[in-house]
Amino acid sequence: MIRSISGTTALYGLFGHPASHSISPAMHNTAFQKLGIDAAYLAFDIREEQIEKAVSAIRTLPILGVNLTMPLKTAVIPFLDALSEASALSGSVNTIVNDNGFLTGHTTDGIGFTASVREAGFEIKGSVMSVLGAGGAAGSLIVQSAIEGAEKIFVFKRSNASFKDTVTFCQSISEKTGCPIKVLPMEDGALMQSTLDESGILVNATPVGMGDDKNTPVPREFLAPHLFVSDLIYHPEMTPLLSDAKDVGCRYSNGKYMLLHQGAASFRLWTGENMPVELVRKNCF
Ligand code: NAP
């Protein structure tokens, strides 16, 4: 796939554990080759306890840009020189830019989400959102949606020990971005139904419906045709939630292309160039 490696070939990579299953190397190497950029992207298996040395290697080798997977997204932060606004707000880094030894952490996960729903015909700016779940993926998309001008965000979260932490996190994002964000108990069906009536988009950021799980996080009768339904799950491509959304007449999208657009945003930060997304979509997805 890589045309040739020379003495001037620049190095980019993925740090994660496991790392070998990732499609990121195929995506970025396809883009480098298409655009004639003398660079290669490799996957490195890095565990959390190795992150300090791995970041030191970025400066020493040097590696010009790095992507990170969980749990390195938070563990890497103390070893970087600066953070983007979205990274600082979400406490998560999935992209490092090495500018002559000065390492800045960015997060493109949320950008991947907003770009993928925009591509499917829904604009986050000015929208009222309902988000199910409050884990890493939800945090990134809530921050990016608030930055991009969502009118209001409702976050449905299970009433367990971490409910208060989610409230504190969302209050902080709300204060810093000016976007009202309210955390609500997922168990209150009546509240969920009335909130969905008010929302333009429903986002499933829980694993409910993933793989062989035939459950849906939202009763079908709560859905109405005005809703755009986004499920971050991409296996299966048609989750029980999306199947219900389709039957009800909602527009919908799955999580398949969130990764594509997240990678495209990393590529732009590193090279200043637009990833040839249609070619990458055709070759790698
Ligand atoms: P995570 O950090 O583990 O968070 C999962 C969230 O879902 C938590 O808030 C958890 O609730 C909630 N949850 C889990 N099981 C639930 C259940 N049975 N009922 C209600 N809520 C439940 O996971 P994540 O990394 O954010 O990933 C979430 C989903 O997004 C996964 O399906 C993942 O595959 C998908 N994802 C897709 C992409 C993409 O590129 N398309 C990227 C990242 C993630 P508690 O807080 O109460 O524990």
Q: What's the 207 CA to ligand 1 centre distance in angstroms?
A: 5
Ligand 1 centroid, distance to 3 Cα (angstroms): 39
Dist. CA 62–CA 163, nearest whole Å: 42
Which pLDDT score, from 0 to 100, does residue 197 have?
97
User: What is the CB neighbour count within 10 angstroms for residue 129?
Assistant: 25
Mean predicted confidence (pLDDT) in 65-81: 95
Instruction: Evaluate whether 14 touches 67 at the Cβ level (below 8 Å).
Output: yes
Paired residues of 185 in beta bridges: 157
Residue from 92, 163, 206 whose mutation best tests the ligand 1 pocket (most atoms within 8 A of CB): 206
Locate 248 and state its tokens: 């009800």
pLDDT per residue as tens digits for the range 85-135: 999 999 999 999 999 999 999 999 999 999 999 999 999 999 999 999 999
Instruction: Please check whether residue 68 is in contact with residue 79, taking contact to mean a CB–CB distance below 8 angstroms.
Output: no
Confirm if 13 and 44 have CB atoms less than 8 A apart. yes
Reported as a pLDDT band with limits 50, 70 and 90, residue 179 is very high
Of ligand 1's atoms, which has the minimum distance to the CA of residue 215?
18
Within 6 Å (CB) of ligand 1, which residues are found? 133-138, 157-158, 160, 162, 186, 205-208, 210, 217, 232-234, 255, 258-259
Q: Which of the listed residues 90, 155, 158, 253 should we mutate to test ligand 1's pocket, taking the one with most ligand atoms within 8 A of CB? A: 158
Residue nearest to atom 38 of ligand 1 (CA): 232
Q: List the beta bridge partners of residue 202.
A: 130, 229
Question: What is the rounded average pLDDT for all residues in the chain?
Answer: 96
Residues 62, 64, 68: CA angle, nearest 5 degrees:
105
What pLDDT, in 10s, does the model give residues 195-231? Answer: 999 999 999 999 999 999 999 999 999 999 999 999 9
- The proportion of the chain whose per-residue pLDDT surpasses 90, expressed as a percent, equals 97
Most ligand 1 atoms within 8 A of CB, residue of 192, 232, 242, 285 to mutate: 232
Question: Atom 41, ligand 1: which residue's CA is nearest?
Answer: 255
- CA–CA distance, 166 with 164 (Å, rounded to integer): 5
Kindly state the average pLDDT of the residues 182-202: 98
Please give the share of the chain, as a percent, with pLDDT higher than 70.
Answer: 99
Q: Is 238 left (phi over 0), alpha (psi -120 to 50) or beta?
A: beta
Q: pLDDT of 261-285, one tens digit each? A: 999 999 999 999 999 999 999 999 9
Cα 136 to middle of ligand 1, angstroms: 7
Q: Indicate which residue's Cα is closest to atom 44 of ligand 1.
A: 137
Helix 136-147 to helix 163-177 angle, to the nearest 10 degrees?
20
Closest residue by Cα to residue 113 from 282, 260, 250, 226 = 260
Q: Please give the pLDDT value at position 3.
A: 66
Pick the residue whose CA is nearest to atom 17 on ligand 1.
208
